[in-house]
Amino acid sequence: MKKLYLFLIFLVVLTPAYNQIIKCGDAHTKHYLQTKYPGIENFFASNYKWPENGRTTETLRIPVVVHLIYNNSSELLAEDIVRNQIEVLNQDYNRFNADASETREIFQEIAGKANVEFFLATKDPDGNATNGITKHFTEKTSFLDFDYALFLQAIITCGVDLNDPQSIADNLDCIISIYGSDPTQIDFIAQLDEVKSSDTGGVDPWDQSRYLNIWVCNLSVSVFGEQVPFLLGYAYPPVGAPNWPTEEFPEDYWTKDGVVIHYQVLGKDNPAIGSLQGINDQGRTLTHEVGHYLGLRHIWGDGDCGLDDGIGDTPLMANESQDQSGSIIQCSSLFNKNTCVDEGTDYPDMIENYMDYTQESCQNMFSVEQVALMRNMLMGPRLELVEAGASSTDDVSKIKHITLLPNPATTEIVVPSFTSFKLIVAYDINGKFQKSWINPERKIEITELPKGINILHLTDVKGNLYTARMIKM
């Protein structure tokens, strides 16, 4: 299966004088995450069978707050750009995107519709009216601050492949002799997360259990005195996802929850797009990053054919599909790309998937099983987000709380008889998946559940969702 180390899109666009694009800093950022979050290398998907509640059709509403953090007027995007970005999310996640028909025929039958609705919050955490957009001036010219030009010089002089961690390790002494320090110790994540706190020049998040927080800021680096895009976006996965155990994560991990986006790639027709025109100009950087926020991994799994993204209906891929020249390409030029041999039907690489690194005009789909995983995260670890979305409408009965008996319980509980349930999923108090029951009887055995508070999500035959808290003795 493919490993996931970091949910980042790195893209260095150098000035025309250098005529070079460094594609993805993922290779040496693996070390950064492993250093900051010991044990993270163990949090990779296995052949986990996702519960069927991901296939319900009820529309799940997700409240969003967008924090615009700017140092100058060009970084302060118009509110219309924010609103058209939300529209892009809704089109892409619900397969209303105009280019859905461009999905190749071989993948049309597995293209999924998530049935989610992203909307800008109408009330802030204090209950006051809001348009879901906050604006904050920062003294920071960028939330990335290191001498990338010198680092690049070291890479070129030493003949290092920036995307090959072994190449960096083999040439580390040479790099250090030029750069002056170990470049793998540059803590990008600590710098980037400063945008999430007013104490460090950023903005404090709204309640992350009830809002999808999106921070929009400058993620450029200085190259020979010129600010150029380096990092386009990153996101934290849902804490408590079954394939992301929580017990080894540091306490501050989930306090950073949310998505960060470089200001130039938010929305379509962004007037600040600059050199990213034609490559990352469709608003799909956020589509990609919200996919990570909802539990998805890069479709090529950040590895070769021996690795995977944990999704059954996405083909194996040896690498991402980003063009290495930085040129704008015809999407059809990638249609013959087939970097791995799949068992059974040998599919080509799914270059149109939002979780690939293709130029955004080539992206147009999620798969059915990607959709199922995301919906399971929304019905599980991120359920409070959906509850907040439901309570913002007149129909507050979409998600109901019910009582299970006995409570506390030791060996079994009885579910109510007012309706028939087709799925029950149990999570511990931290949101970690424990057990699921498909088409359960009224009495269900709970001996396998952990002692303490358990959260149960019950889906009836009509697709209605109920929740209950139960204490296991």
Burial group, residue 461, by CB count within 10 angstroms (0-12, 13-18, 19+): exposed
CA 177 to chain centre: 37
For residue 320, give every residue at least 6 positions away whose Cβ sits within 8 Å of its Cβ, in sequence order, or none.
Answer: 23, 24, 298, 300, 356, 357, 358
**Encoding tokens for residue 227?**
């600010």
Distance CA 174, CA 388 (A): 53
In one-letter notation, the amino acid at residue 328 is: I
Classify 269 in phi/psi space as left (phi over 0), alpha (psi -120 to 50) or beta.
left
What are the C-alpha distances in Å from 408 to residues 2, 184, 400?
41, 50, 20
Considering the candidates 58, 75, 194, 289, report the single residue annotated as catalytic.
289
Q: Is 289 a catalytic residue?
A: yes
Burial group, residue 256, by CB count within 10 angstroms (0-12, 13-18, 19+): middle
Question: Are the CB atoms for 165 and 148 separated by under 8 Å?
Answer: no
21-22/412-414 β-pairing: unpaired
Question: Are the CB atoms for 263 and 75 separated by under 8 Å?
Answer: yes
Distance CA 234, CA 258 (A): 9
Distance CA 363, CA 359 (A): 7
Angle subtended by helix axes 383-391 and 368-379, to nearest 10? 80
Question: Are the CB atoms for 233 and 262 separated by under 8 Å?
Answer: yes
Distance CA 386, CA 211 (A): 9
**Encoding tokens for residue 411?**
């060996």
Catalytic center residues: 289
